[in-house]
Structure 1
Amino acid sequence: MIWLTQTQKFGVFFTSAGTLLFLLGVVSLFDAGLLAMANISFLVGIFLIIGTQKTLYFFSRPQKMRGTICFAIGIILILTKHSFFGFVIETFGILALFGEFFATLVQFLRSMPVIGPFLSHPMVAPVVDKLAGVRVLPI
């Protein structure tokens, strides 16, 4: 069981709300208001979960700088009502920043009761592994 402080619980809520608002903004044809609220909620959640100093360190690492710049430009474009272009650039930034977590996420989802057997199916597993960047030994 993971023990979270009260601040981290609020951070999980804000990050989840940001992700949900992000999806709703895309479904509602790139609504700039929903995407802006999603960005703000997501960033507040990240700050609350890992703290200010670790968040600033994460976004300012040299190997993450391209992703940080794309993420920031995407947020600025969304806030200035250029939501489609902001979404595309921000998505590239999110993939550059958080792409290394996808393999861990896939492994976690495979341990879930409903989705796990589907992701572990012999026809689906190679495709998911390739998309998420999961490294599989050749033997």
Structure 2
Amino acid sequence: MIEISDIQKIGVGLAGFGMTFLFLGVLLLFDKGLLAIGNILFISGLACVIGIQRTFFFFFQRHKIKATIAFFGGITIVLLGWPMFGMIAEMYGFLLLFRGFLPAAVNFLRMVPIVDRIAGDNGRNMDTSM
């Protein structure tokens, strides 16, 4: 099993709170304050999980520049007072940036004991004696 540092555990928590604030911001009719806090927490959590340097290189790779501009442009648009348009741009950038990362994130979360217990067996230990 892979050893998870305390900073990475904090990062998972920050990213989780960020996603919660983003969800609440959308649920409460695109509340600008909640969306801004959610964005800050999510990016901080990502930096804690994979490291600051790897986060910087993740966002600023040459083939991901369009997605990075859409993501950070969406955050800027939210902060300027157009939360619905900002979230659309942000979601587009998020999907482009993290489409290859999502399966790895799910596997990482499966290593957290509480998440693994909630998710259940999922067919990993199938009984073949039937």
Query: What interval of TM-score do these two structures reach, taking the shorter chain for normalisation?
Result: 0.7 to 0.9
Please report how far the alpha carbon of residue 106 of structure 1 lies from its aligned counterpart in structure 2 after TM superposition.
Answer: 6.9
Aligned partner of 2:51: which letter?
A: G
Aligned partner of 1:113 among 110, 113, 120: 120
Q: What is the alpha-carbon distance in structure 1 between the residues aligned to residue 17 and residue 78 of structure 2?
A: 18
1:57-96 matched pairs, under 5 angstroms? 57-96=57-96
Aligned-residue CA RMSD (Å): 2.2
Taking structure 2 as the reference length, the TM-score comes to: 0.78
DSSP 3-state at the match of 1:76 = helix
Q: What is the alpha-carbon distance in structure 1 between the residues aligned to residue 51 and residue 42 of structure 2?
A: 13
Gaps of 5+ in 1: 118-139
Please report how far the alpha carbon of residue 113 of structure 1 lies from its aligned counterpart in structure 2 after TM superposition.
Answer: 2.3
Aligned partner of 2:55: which letter?
A: T
Q: Does 1:16 align with 2:16?
A: yes
- Deviations 1:91-120 (CA, angstroms, capped at 9, x unpaired): 0000000012345567888x9427x47xxx
- Deviations 1:64-102 (CA, angstroms, capped at 9, x unpaired): 111100001000011111100000000000000001234
Gaps of 5+ in 2: 111-115, 124-130
Q: What is the alpha-carbon distance in structure 1 between the residues aligned to residue 70 and residue 83 of structure 2?
A: 14
- The verdict on how the C-alpha distance between 1:4 and 1:58 changes in structure 2, with shifts beyond 3 A counting, is same
Aligned partner of 2:100: which letter?
A: E
Taking structure 1 as the reference length, the TM-score comes to: 0.74
| Residue 30 (structure 1) aligns with | 30
- The verdict on how the C-alpha distance between 1:102 and 1:10 changes in structure 2, with shifts beyond 3 A counting, is closer
Matched residue pairs, number? Answer: 115
